[in-house]
Chain A
Amino acid sequence: MTCSACLREGAGRGDEQDADVGTVTNAGTSIREEEEEEEEEEEEEEGMGAITDRNSSPAITVEAEAEEGGLETECGQQAFDSGSQGDDNDKHVEAVCKDMEAWESSGQWPFSCYSAVKASISGFTELSPEELRMEYYSGRAAGDLQNYANSVQQLATQWSSRVQELKILTPATRVALIAELNNPLTVADGFPAAASGFGAGGFGSGPVGAVVSAFGSADPPAGPTGFGSASSAASFSFGPGPAPGPTPAPPAASFSFSSPAPSFAAPPGPASSAGFSFSAPGFGAPPAAPPASAGGTSFGQAVGAGPVVGGAPDKLFTPQSELTPDELKEFTGKRFTLGQVPLRPPPAGLLVV
C-alpha cells in the first residue's frame, strides 16, 4: 500500500533531519492512513510506527505477511456491495468488524464510545472508570451495592450485544452501520483564531491589542448552549438504554461483571491520619475535621425525561403520530443524545440513509 511505503521511507529520512519543531519530518502518517494501516500492524510490537533502527524493506514485508496470514476473522467475508462506493463501504465495515474483534478480546475498557472513519457509532455507553468507581463508592456508603451491580451487568450486556451486532452483521444492521459511517456529524470547527498571530511554531504570539484588566463575573457560556442537561450531577443514565436490532445473544464478554464479593464487612472509609506523621516546622497541625461519607450522585434514578419504554418493536417503522415529543426530537435531530436514544424505530419518513 502506498501509505505504508511512505511511512517506511520517511522513517529513514526522519532520522537525518533536523529535529526542530516546525521542520517537516517525513516520518509522519496522516491519521487516516494510520487507521488503514492498523489492520496490518496488529502483530507489531508497540512503538510509534517509525522504527528508526531498521531500514524500510523488512518492515513492509512483515506487514504484507501479516495482512495475509493475520488474525482468524469473519470480517473479510462481509463483502456485499459492488462499485467504488460499495468497495469503500465494504472496507469500512470490515474495519469496524475488526475493531470489534480486537475490542472483545483485548480486555480494554468496554464503556467507551467508538468511532470509525470520523463517524461516531451509536449504541455505546461512554462512562469513565472514575465515574463507575464513584457510583460504587456512593452505593457502598449508602449501604446498597445491588443497584450498582444490576446497572453494571446491564451495561456489560448491552456492550456485548452491540459488539456482536457490529461483528456479525445482518443486512439491516449493515445498512444502519453504513448510514452512520457515511453521515458523520462534522465537529463545529468554529471560532477562527480571533486572537490571530498563532504562528507556525507557537501558540500564543497574540495580537497587541487592548488589554482587559479583569474579565467579568459569571459571563454567559461562550459555547453553543443546549447540550443536554448540565444541571444533573451524573449526566449518564443507568436507566433502560437503547436496544437496537435483533435479540442479543448471551454475551461472551471477556470483560464482565458479576456481583460484588460479599466480603466488605466495613467500608475502608477515608484515610486515617494515624500513619502519617507531621514533623515539619513549616506546616502547622493537621486538620481535625473527620470526613463525612462521599456525597451520593443520583445513581439509578432516571436522569432527564427519557422516552417511554415501549415493548420490543415488532414493526419496522413507528408512525410519526405515535411518537412522543422526545422521540420526535431525537429522530429529527442531527444525532441522538446519549442516554435518550428512542427504543422504537423511526417513522419511514424520517429515515435518512
Chain B
Amino acid sequence: MLQLMMKLAAFAILDSILKSISSMSLFGASPGFGTGGTSVFGNTTTDTHNPMKDVEVTSPPDDSISCLAFSPPSMPGNFLIGGSWANDVRCWEVQDNGQTVPKAQQMHTGPVLDVCWSDDGSKVFTASCDKTAKMWDLNSNQAMQIAQHEGPIRTIHWIKAPNYSCIMTGSWDKTLKFWDTRSPSPMMSLQMPERAYCADVVYPMAVVATADRGLIVYQLENQPSEFRRIESPLKHQHRCVAVFKDKQSKPTGFALGSIEGRVAIHYINPPNPAKDNFTFKCHRSNGTNTATPQDIYAVNAISFHPVHGTLATVGSDGRFSFWDKDARTKLKTSDQLDQPITACSFNSNGNIFAYASSYDWSKGHEYYNPQKKNYIFLRNAAEELKPRNKK
C-alpha cells in the first residue's frame, strides 16, 4: 500500500517536473502527497503515531528532533535532553513512575544538530547550524558560547581524560576541533578529508565518519591524534556511528550505519578481521517476494545498551530494532510508526530507551509538514535488550 502510494506520487511528481522543465514555472504545480495535515507514512484512518504504546514525553519540540541524550550515571535521577530543528534544546526530568516534567530550554539561532552531557552532569553542550556550540549550565540555566566553526557543527562530544577534559566538535567545515570551555580558541584543530557526518567518543577512542565514506579513528590519550583511517565497509553515505566496548569496558570497535539500510560492525584490532567484521541489512521492507524490489531506508541512529552491549537502530522507516551483535541475531523490531524515527538514547542504567518520531527529510521537502506533531517516546528497555545467548 505504501509502495503504491509512493509510486503514484512519483508519477505525479515526474509529470509536474517535466512540465516545469519546459515551462520554467515551478510554483503552482501539483504538490503531491504529504502536504496536507494527514500523516505521511501508513494509514491515515488509524492513528499510528504510537503503535508501541510507549510513554509520550510532554511538551515535545515544535520541529523535528535531531538528537537525544540522557544524563550520566553521576547524576541522581534521569534527565533527558533533546535538540530540534526549531533551534531549541529542551530538558525534561523523567520520573520513576514514567512521568516527564519539562524543566528548562535554551535557544540557538539555527537548528540544533547534536547535544551531549559533561561527565558530572552539571553541563549540557549543544551544537548548531548557527556554527556555534554552547555550554548550558543547568544549575544557573545560563548558556554561553564555547566554540565557533566556519560551518554548521554536526557533532559534539565531551572528552574526559585523566590529564585533560575538553569538548570535541565536528563540522561541515571539514575540521574536528577540541575546546577548553574557558577559551575562545580551540586547543587543537584537525583537518578532515570531508564534512563530519557523525561521531562517537568512548575514551580513549573517537570515531568520526565523514562525507564520501570517510572513516577516521582518533586516539585520545595524552592528546587527541589521528590513529587510523579506515576503508569504509559500506557503499553509501555514512549516517550514524556508535562505539562499542569489550567485556572489560574498553572501546574495541564501532557500529556504522548508512542511508542504505545497512550497519557495519567493525573491530579496531580483531584477531580475524575477515570473520569478526561484518555488515547486516536493516530497516528495509519485508522482501519476501523476489519479484518486488525492497524499500530501503536510512539508519538514522545507533545506540548501545550501557549494560548488555546489545544495540538499537532507528530508521527512516519509522521502526526501531534491537540487535545482538555477538550472537548476530535480531532481538526485536517495532511496529511501524507514521513518521521516521530520528534519534534515540538509552539512560545511564539501560532501563529506559528514548526514541524520537519526526520527519528526517528522507523524502525531501514535499513530505515536510510543519504542522505535524513531533514525539519523543520512552520505553522500558530492561528486558528486550538482553543478549540472546546470555550465560
**CB-CB under 8 A for A187 and B364, given A112-B260, A271-B84:** no
B332 an interface residue at 8 Å Cβ cutoff?
A: no
Min CB distance B105 to A, Å, is 6
Inter-chain contacts of B6 with A (CB < 8 A):
107, 254
Min CB distance B373 to A, Å, is 11
Give the residues from 1 to 34 in chain B that come closer than 8 angstroms, CB to CB, to chain A. 6-7, 10, 13-14, 16-18, 20-21, 26-32
Query: Count the A residues whose beta carbon is within 8 Å of the partner chain — how many?
Result: 151
A 189-233 binary contact with B (CB < 8 Å = 1; else 0)? 111011100111111111001011111111101111101101111
Pairwise interchain contact A223-B190, C-beta atoms closer than 8 A: yes
Min CB distance A267 to B, Å, is 8
Give the residues from 188 to 210 in chain B that come closer than 8 angstroms, CB to CB, to chain A. 188-195, 197, 203-205
Task: Specify the chain A residue showing the minimal Cβ separation from B202.
Answer: A203
Pairwise interchain contact A203-B251, C-beta atoms closer than 8 A: yes
Inter-chain contacts of A217 with B (CB < 8 A):
183, 185-188
A 284-308 binary contact with B (CB < 8 Å = 1; else 0)? 1111010111110100000000000
In angstroms, Cα B129 to Cα A61, docked, is 51
**CB-CB under 8 A for A227 and B194, given A251-B14, A252-B14:** yes
Q: Which of A11, A106, A271, A280 has the most CB of B within 10 A?
A: A271
In angstroms, Cα B226 to Cα A195, docked, is 11
A276 an interface residue at 8 Å Cβ cutoff?
A: yes
In angstroms, Cα B235 to Cα A126, docked, is 12
Pairwise interchain contact B111-A291, C-beta atoms closer than 8 A: no
* Chain B interface main SS type: loop
Pairwise interchain contact A42-B275, C-beta atoms closer than 8 A: no
Pairwise interchain contact A215-B188, C-beta atoms closer than 8 A: yes
**CB-CB under 8 A for A230 and B175, given A126-B212, A204-B250, A256-B10:** yes
**CB-CB under 8 A for A21 and B361, given A270-B107, A279-B101:** no
* Chain A interface main SS type: loop
Q: 5 tightest CB-CB pairs across the interface, nearest first?
A: A202-B250, A28-B275, A261-B31, A221-B191, A215-B223
Q: Which of B204, B283, B389 is within 8 Å of A206, CB to CB? A: B204
In angstroms, Cα B175 to Cα A230, docked, is 8
B150 an interface residue at 8 Å Cβ cutoff?
A: yes
Pairwise interchain contact B212-A283, C-beta atoms closer than 8 A: no
Min CB distance B339 to A, Å, is 14
A 10-27 binary contact with B (CB < 8 Å = 1; else 0)? 110011000111101111
Give the residues from 267 to 282 in chain B that come closer than 8 angstroms, CB to CB, to chain A. 268-282
Q: Which of A188, A262, A277 is within 8 Å of B28, CB to CB? A: A262
